[in-house]
A and B are shown apart, each in its own frame.
Chain A
Amino acid sequence: DTAVSQTPKYLVTQMGNDKSIKCEQNLGHDTMYWYKQDSKKFLKIMFSYNNKELIINETVPNRFSPKSPDKAHLNLHINSLELGDSAVYFCASSQASLAYEQYFGPGTRLTVT
């Protein structure tokens, strides 16, 4: 039983392309997140949604657009990919009342060439 799943696990694409990463959680949580982990392993929050409402929107380029069709799904769409977007992207979920206890997905390794 996968708690937080992401697809795809690996994504290799060229500069300028548009791509999406999907995330689903079956934990019944009401809050979901996107994180970016760079080559130095620094994990930084990008977005957070609570009950499909955007509550955290860190300073990321507007080429990144999250979409939450329902509480169990949070997708990340990236337009006009750049070399600097190469990283591992993690989806996570939690209950809002226990937001520090976040459950992470396996990550999507994005490589932009």
Chain B
Amino acid sequence: EDQVTQSPEALRLQEGESSSLNCSYTVSGLRGLFWYRQDPGKGPEFLFTLYSAGEEKEKERLKATLTKKESFLHITAPKPEDSATYLCAVPGDSGGYQKVTFGTGTKLQVIP
């Protein structure tokens, strides 16, 4: 069964203090990895899709990278509005991309 593990569970940063979140996975054949952001009391919001090792995607202060075993979400000079839970996910072995397995997330808090 697909496993997605995220670390750390929680991360507290000062505004402007860059850091990285980790997502490691065990799947039989990786067909993509997705990052979502979830604000308190809201549904997850899609951020990125990465398809192959070496691929990178950027959005504002966020940069997602992918290796054969893990993905990193780098946050450069974060702002308080970046505070959220960040979820990574992979598609299941069957059912196409519709069946997505989510990690338990990293709760990021950025302090002014």
Any chain A CB within 8 A of the CB of B29?
Answer: no
Q: With A41-B85, A42-B104 known to touch, is A48 a contact of B99 (CB < 8 Å)?
A: yes
- A57 → B minimal CB distance (Å): 10
B41 adjacent to chain A (CB < 8 Å): yes
Give per-residue flags for A82-94: 1 if the beta carbon is below 8 A from chain B beta carbons, else 0. 0000000010101
Q: How near does chain B come to A48, taking the closest CB pair, in angstroms?
A: 5
Which of chain B's residues have a CB closer than 8 A to the CB of A55?
A: 95, 98
A99 touches B87 (CB 8 A): no
Say whether A105 contacts B43, CB under 8 Å.
Answer: yes
Which listed residue (A4, A31, A40, A99) contacts B104, Cβ 8 A? A40
User: Given A92-B43, A100-B49, A105-B43, A42–B98 Cβ distance below 8 Å?
Assistant: no
Residues 39-57 of chain A, each 1 if its beta carbon lies under 8 Å from chain B, else 0: 0111111001010000110
Given the interface contacts A55-B98, A56-B98, A99-B97, does A43 sit within 8 Å of B49 by beta carbon? no
Confirm or deny: A70 has a beta carbon within 8 angstroms of a beta carbon on chain B.
no
Nearest opposing residue in chain B for A31, CB measure: B98
How large, as a class, is the contact surface on chain B? 20 to 34
Find out whether the CB atom of B100 lies under 8 angstroms from the CB atom of A41. no
**Closest CB-CB distance, B102 to chain A, in whole Å?**
4
Q: Say yes or no: A42 contacts B97, CB within 8 Å.
A: no
Q: Is the CB of A104 within 8 A of B95?
A: no
Cα-based distance from A99 to B32 in the complex (angstroms): 11
Among B43, B49, B87, which residue has its beta carbon within 8 angstroms of that of A4?
B43
Asked if A18 is at the interface of the complex by the 8 Å CB criterion, the answer is no
The yes or no answer to B59 lying at the interface (CB within 8 A) is no
A62 to B66, CA, bound (A): 38
Give which listed residue, B42, B43, B85, B98, contacts A99 with CB less than 8 A: B98
Chain B: minimal CB distance from A59 (Å): 12
Query: Contact string, A1-26, partner B, CB cutoff 8 A, digits 1/0?
Result: 00010000000000000000000000
Interface residues of A (CB under 8 A from B): 4, 31, 33, 40-45, 48, 50, 55-56, 90, 92, 94, 96, 98-107
Known contacts A104-B42, A104-B43, A104-B44, then 7 further A-B pairs from the complex at CB < 8 Å, ordered by chain A residue? A44-B102, A56-B95, A92-B43, A98-B97, A99-B98, A100-B91, A107-B42
